[in-house]
Amino acid sequence: MFAALAQSRALWDELVSFIEDHYRTKNAYKFYGRNYGWALQFSKSGKSLVSLYPGQGEFVAQVILDQEQCEKALRSGIGDEVRDLIRLTPAIHEGKWIFASVKTKKDVEDIKSLISARATG
């Protein structure tokens, strides 16, 4: 898995360290079938905080936000790409399932903002 991440391994490690340093979480690798594959899922108080899906040279972070958490994230200074993801993702009963590709340091900072909104919302 880490070989597949290649150059994005440092971004993965930074995000995992941020989660472990700032939140009391449990984590586990889970398999979500052929379409999604393996993910490292972090949960807090029995609820999903974030799931990280490794890919070839990048990874995807999934954060589920309710309406209040979406509003908080939108006020946090996130970049246009993640802002558009929040705005364009349809809400379902659990909230908005945000799937964001992580390829740059800015992407990591945006995901940290989403995690923070999720954790405190």
Residue-wise pLDDT tens digits, 26-60:
999 999 888 778 899 999 988 999 999 998 888 99
> Tell me, what's the pLDDT at 1?
66
Structural domain of 53: 2-120
Six-digit token pair at 108?
Answer: 């990591």
The fraction of the chain above a pLDDT of 70, given in percent, is 97
Q: Return all residues near 46 (Cβ < 8 A) that are at least 6 apart.
A: none
Length of the chain: 121
Q: What is the pLDDT of residue 60?
A: 94
Q: What is the spatial distance between Cα 119 and Cα 66, in angstroms, rounded to a whole number?
A: 11
Q: How many domains does the chain have?
A: 1
> How far is Cα 42 from Cα 118, in angstroms, rounded to an integer?
12
pLDDT value, residue 118: 96
pTM: 0.91
Mean pLDDT of the chain: 92
Number of Cβ within 10 Å of residue 90's Cβ equals 6
